[in-house]
Chains A and B, each alone.
Chain A
Amino acid sequence: MIAAVLVEHRDGVVAQPSLEALTLARSVGVPVAVWLGASPSAEAVALLGQYGATDVRVVDAELRVVAHAADALRAASDDAELVLVVSTFVNKEIVTRMALATGAGVVVDAAGAERIDGHIETTQTVFAATWNVRTRINTERAIVAIRPNTTTAKVADERTAPTVTTLAVALPTAREAIVDIARVAPPEGIPLAEAPVVVSGGRGTGGDYTLVRDLADLLGGAVGASRDATDEGWISHEHMVGQTGTTVTPALYVACGISGAVHHRGGMQASGTIVAVNMDPDAPIFDIADFGVVGSLFDVLPQAIERIKAHRAAS
């Protein structure tokens, strides 16, 4: 059974969630990588091979129009029973179009997928990550959009040198035209959605992210923020965690000066370990924290940073 994986890449560099998706694809079938955009470098192809891709299928075109990307992915995954994509906003749109064209069943925001009695079954959380749900895809063809950080990427036991095939896909005339693209500078360090550790600051930072950033750097993580903080202009919108921002599921989430409104919790509640620092003992964030400190982040964070540094120096 072929399990095709749509590879996420930025400036030709393969994103970590795609390696997770390839790892997952290997547990279900024979993984094939689909690459949309300018042809991959030899390094990128080798990396995909390390994670088990037997084939790399390339559609060499700028595919920002959703209808085009959907047709390209469809052509490149024609023989696949399962198509795995990383759960991003654009990919959800691409797979919706593809599903309408192919009759495939779709689950988005999945945390896992396996094949049981000939059907793909997925797990995911819903209702602001307060419920676990298991879904069966009834159709022969299945499409699953998988959340970053839900599978541990592992290289394959048998490395392959993948065959690279470039497909020519006749793209339909789309009604939509992209008339301007203003590039956003790539994030410094690990992208928020993929980070194994996220340290977030909210209104309680008063706009000073120095301590939040220091702790994030120390832990090898990304900096997140609440909606109020991005609205204030203290930090850019890309950092917003929550239902209308980025949903994150890191191994560790540290919320500093964030009250834990339902909109925020919905975007981080499925994280592994949750730590909160907040002056208000009644802040709802404490309801979902494994470890909470009632106190000021300006007192607590410097001391925590010192202690971690001292521990590392000693060991």
Chain B
Amino acid sequence: MRVLVAVKFVPDLQSQRSFTDGLVTRVAEDGSMNELDENAVEAALQLVEAQGDGEVYALTVGGPDAVAAVRKALQLGATYAIHVNDGAIAGSDVFGTAAVLAAAIRKVNAEAPLDLVITGMAALDGLTSMLPTALAVELGWSQLTFASKLEVAAGEATIVRHLPDAYETVAAPLPAVVSVTDEANKPRYPNFKLIMAARTKPVTVWTLADIGVDPASVGAAASRTTVIDASPRPPRADRTIVTDTGEAGTALADFLIGRGLA
């Protein structure tokens, strides 16, 4: 079983996140692998472990700091790490990113066919959840998204996805792009041995030229959308915090009544 996991470098959820010139500011100190991508790595490791043999590739597209995302995947147990890093990628929209990821995946696939690409259900920076679908279309592979359960057997992947109106069971032939939710599994913690090994494991770095992508087709200039303004939301004005000494329920009700909310 050969599985590739797409992992994204995102600003730390707890840190002060910001924009510079319409783009998300990304620096290594306060960024890491997207938390939900741990579930994607875990799903890949479990499939390979169940089969008894195979490889897990971790792939990220992003600036120099994004290497932290694939390093994290190595610590968790991924076999190989690939980082597509090229100045021309900066400012890409989801379609540009998907095109770059797809080109890198085709290059890996050409060495020996992959069975699956697994992604997280969303990157917690923008939460768009668009990339997995875009990637499936780019590759012409099956799209099995939002999986809270994944099984692979006899050249076919089957997932369960939990939608507001139904639990759907969806099956499709391999190769497939699968996105997993945080219900799919419980990610492992890296052990000391893997952390040490990950320090010295090589990370393959590719430029756009290495994967045959025209720089003009990606990046800010090719993006279908442009962030034209970004500002932190002002803190809420007139905040009131009361400590209950027996009347706070009434005070709460009066607050709601005063605002016309009750």
Residues of chain A touching chain B, judged by Cβ–Cβ distance below 8 Å, are 10, 64, 66-67, 88-90, 92-93, 96-97, 99-100, 103-109, 121, 125-139, 175-184, 186, 191, 193, 197, 218-219, 237-238, 243-244, 247, 251-252, 262-263, 266, 273-275, 277, 281, 286, 288-296, 299-308, 311
Pick 24 A–B contacts, CB within 8 A, sort by A.
A89-B146, A93-B129, A96-B94, A96-B137, A128-B13, A129-B233, A131-B18, A131-B233, A132-B232, A133-B227, A133-B229, A178-B169, A180-B169, A184-B164, A197-B261, A252-B256, A286-B241, A290-B240, A292-B239, A295-B243, A303-B248, A303-B249, A306-B249, A308-B257
Q: Which of B224, B232, B255 contacts A106 (CB 8 A)?
A: B224
- What 10 A-B pairs have minimum CB-CB distances, sorted nearest first? A303-B249, A295-B244, A105-B224, A307-B253, A180-B169, A134-B229, A292-B241, A304-B249, A96-B133, A175-B142
Q: Could you tell me which residues of chain B, from 155 to 209, have a CB within 8 Å of some CB in chain A? A: 158, 162-173, 176, 181-182
With A243-B124, A289-B241, A294-B241 as known contacts, state yes or no: A92 contacts B129, CB within 8 Å: yes
At the interface, yes or no: B79 with Cβ under 8 Å from chain A?
no
Instruction: Tell which of B168, B228, B259, B261 touches A64, judged by Cβ atoms closer than 8 Å.
Output: B168
* Interchain CB contact under 8 A, B14 and A262: yes
Task: Provide the residues of chain A in CB contact with B133, threshold 8 Å.
Answer: 66, 92-93, 96-97
Question: What does DSSP make chain B's interface, helix, strand, loop or mixed?
Answer: mixed
With A and B bound together, what is the CA distance between A291 and B125 in angstroms? 28
Query: Is there an interface contact between B229 and A262, defined as CB atoms closer than 8 Å?
Result: no
CB of A110, distance to nearest CB on chain B (Å)? 11
* CB pair A100 B134 closer than 8 Å: yes
List chain B residues, Cβ under 8 A from A273. Answer: 259, 261
* A184 contacts across to B, CB distance below 8 A: 163-167
Q: CA separation between A204 and B69, bound complex, in Å?
A: 35
Within 8 Å by CB of B128, from A109, A288, A290, A299, lies A109
A97 neighbours in B (Cβ, 8 Å): 133, 137
Within 8 A of A (CB), among B48-97: 93-95
Interchain CB contact under 8 A, B173 and A281: no
Name the B residues within 8 Å of A129 (CB-CB).
Answer: 233
If A176-B172, A275-B256 are given as contacts, then 8 extra A-B residue pairs at C-beta distance below 8 Å, sorted by A number, are A179-B170, A237-B162, A243-B124, A244-B121, A275-B255, A300-B248, A300-B249, A303-B248
Chain A residues contacting B163 (CB-CB under 8 Å) are: 89-90, 184
C-alpha gap A127/B17 in the complex (Å):
7
**Measured between alpha carbons, how far is A139 from B95 in the docked complex, in Å?**
13
By CB atoms of chain B within 10 A, which of A90, A93, A238 has the most?
A: A93
- Whole-angstrom distance from the CB of B15 to the nearest CB of chain A? 10
Q: In the complex, are the beta carbons of B128 and A311 less than 8 A apart?
A: no
Residue of A at shortest CB range from B145? A93
For B141, the closest partner residue in chain A by CB is: A175
Q: Are A308 and B170 in contact (CB under 8 A)?
A: no
Q: Mark B228-239, 1 if CB is under 8 A from A, else 0.
A: 111111001011
